[in-house]
Structure 1
Amino acid sequence: MTNTMKIQQAKIPKSLRTAVLDEEITDDLYVEQCLISNCTIDEKDIHRLRFDQVVFQNVTFIDVSFKSIECTDVIFDKCDLSNVQFRGAVLHRVEMKNCKLLGINLSEATLRNVVFKGCYLNLSSFGYSDLKQTSFTDSSLSNADFYEVKLNKVEFIDCNLNEANFGGSSLKGIDLSKNQFEQLTVSREDLEGCIVSSDQAIGFSRLMGLIIKE
């Protein structure tokens, strides 16, 4: 992992048993220490499901709602979680690598030591979430919603942030200089302390009502 800040990696045992999700879900809604791979999980609506030391590999989620899901030491590798409902999720030491997350709902979620790398997160929702020690790298976040989000030690590196919404979210200490966007939704007050490139600064100056003379 090549993050500039220290993020705890998922703690996964060297050997994991292969499992099928339907067979793992018991009355306590707790799934642990297994590999779930090369399958489709569809039409599931389970509240407060917990995953601990689980790897999902090449898994497609269709019409899935896991509201208030808890994931600790979990890896999603080359998975499709488009439009999955993870509202109110608690994610700790979670890695999402090369995943399709179009329209995923992570609103009102708590993220700690979470990595999104090489992911497609267009139209994703993080509204009212609390993100700390979280990294977005080489990912597309076009039209992503970060409305009223707490951002603490969060990094964006080589991401497409075009038309992302950061309304009501303080960007103090957030470095946007290594990302691409033509337009962001953000207030003047929330830009205070944000780190941007010189070209980006010109765009933001127009937001502040300045007239730039060539």
Structure 2
Amino acid sequence: MARRVTGGTGGSGGPGRTGVRAARRPELRLPPLEPYDGAELRPDGDYDGVEFREADLVGQDGAGARFMDCALTGCALDETRLRRARILDTALTGIRGVGTDLAEANLRDVELHDPRLGGTQLHGAVLERVLIRGGKIDYLNLRTARLKDVVFENCVLVEPDFGGARLERVEFAGCTLKGADLSGATLTDVDLRGAAQLEIARGVERLSGAVLSTGQLLDLAPVLAAQLGIRVQD
């Protein structure tokens, strides 16, 4: 089984100097892996210690499957059905796809590097100790999802939907958020200070529980004023 070391910039997930608790990051050390045999994914399948390299999984059905101590590298996941899948202690690198269905999936101790994804469905999913580093994800659907100890690092998120989601110890480091929807979301120890660009389209009133930089607060001032019904005139 992959081992991991946890602890974010605040150390062991504890509060830093500003009082915000840092996210605990996964650090995977995978065991020797067996090459994927090329067979189609199976609903409720069990994949333990498997390496999927440049696999074409387009349109396949792995709903309810379990992936543990696996590596998926350069795989195509267009319209791949992974609803309610469990992805544990697994590294995903350079995956790409449009319309990948991971609704109600469980991702724990997962590292996702340089993805190129669009319209990914993660509504109702549970993400715990997940690192998303680099790449670009368009129209990520995380409605009603639960995120705990999740780090978005140096990635681009275009119109991510966090509507009704619960975010606890979530960090945005060096990443770009364009048109984020926070409607109905609940935030606890969410650190937005490191975001290179922060654009909130809806739900700015849900920022209670988040930490912003002074510059970000000034950038958001017009949206906050509009939400509060304040007219600003010189």
| Length-normalised TM-score, structure 2 | 0.72
Partner of 1:107: 143
Partner of 1:189: none
Partner of 2:79: 43
Query: 1:6 corresponds to which letter in structure 2?
Result: A
Q: CA RMSD in A?
A: 2.7
Partner of 1:143: 179
Task: Judge conservation of contact 1:18–1:34 (CA < 8 Å) in 2.
Answer: no
Q: 1:66 aligns with which of 93, 102, 107?
A: 102
Unaligned runs of 5+ in 1: 181-195
Partner of 2:4: none
Counterpart check, 1:152 vs 2:195: no
Task: Judge conservation of contact 1:11–1:53 (CA < 8 Å) in 2.
Answer: no
Tell me the secondary structure at the aligned position of residue 75 of structure 2.
strand
Distance in structure 2 (CA, Å) of the matches to 1:128 and 1:82? 21
Q: Give the deviation of 1:23 after TM superposition.
A: 6.1
Counterpart check, 1:209 vs 2:202: no
Counterpart check, 1:164 vs 2:180: no
Task: Judge conservation of contact 2:22–2:171 (CA < 8 Å) in 1.
Answer: no
Distance in structure 2 (CA, Å) of the matches to 1:30 and 1:119? 26
Distance in structure 1 (CA, Å) of the matches to 2:140 and 2:160? 5
Partner of 1:184: none
Task: Judge conservation of contact 1:30–1:49 (CA < 8 Å) in 2.
Answer: yes
- After the TM superposition, which of the residue ranges 26-35 and 119-128 deviates more from structure 2? 26-35
Counterpart check, 1:174 vs 2:210: yes
Partner of 1:56: 92
Distance in structure 2 (CA, Å) of the matches to 1:178 and 1:75? 31
Q: Give the deviation of 1:10 after TM superposition.
A: 1.1
Distance in structure 2 (CA, Å) of the matches to 1:86 and 1:22? 25
Tell me the secondary structure at the aligned position of residue 164 of structure 1.
strand
Change (3 A) 1:212 1:42: closer
Distance in structure 1 (CA, Å) of the matches to 2:72 and 2:88? 13
- After the TM superposition, which of the residue ranges 86-95 and 60-69 deviates more from structure 2? 60-69
Task: Judge conservation of contact 2:93–2:114 (CA < 8 Å) in 1.
Answer: yes
Query: 1:42 corresponds to which letter in structure 2?
Result: D
Distance in structure 2 (CA, Å) of the matches to 1:50 and 1:165? 31
Change (3 A) 1:167 1:42: same
Task: Judge conservation of contact 2:72–2:92 (CA < 8 Å) in 1.
Answer: yes
Counterpart check, 1:130 vs 2:159: no
| Length-normalised TM-score, structure 1 | 0.79
Change (3 A) 1:7 1:18: farther
Tell me the secondary structure at the aligned position of residue 87 of structure 1.
coil
Q: Give the deviation of 1:87 after TM superposition.
A: 0.8
Distance in structure 2 (CA, Å) of the matches to 1:76 and 1:121? 14
Task: Judge conservation of contact 2:93–2:115 (CA < 8 Å) in 1.
Answer: yes
Task: Judge conservation of contact 1:18–1:35 (CA < 8 Å) in 2.
Answer: no
Query: 1:63 corresponds to which letter in structure 2?
Result: G
Q: Give the deviation of 1:39 after TM superposition.
A: 2.1
Q: Number of aligned pairs?
A: 196
Encode CA deviations 1:53-102: one digit per residue, 9 max, x unaligned: 00001111233111101000001000112211111010000000002111
Partner of 1:191: none
Change (3 A) 1:212 1:39: same
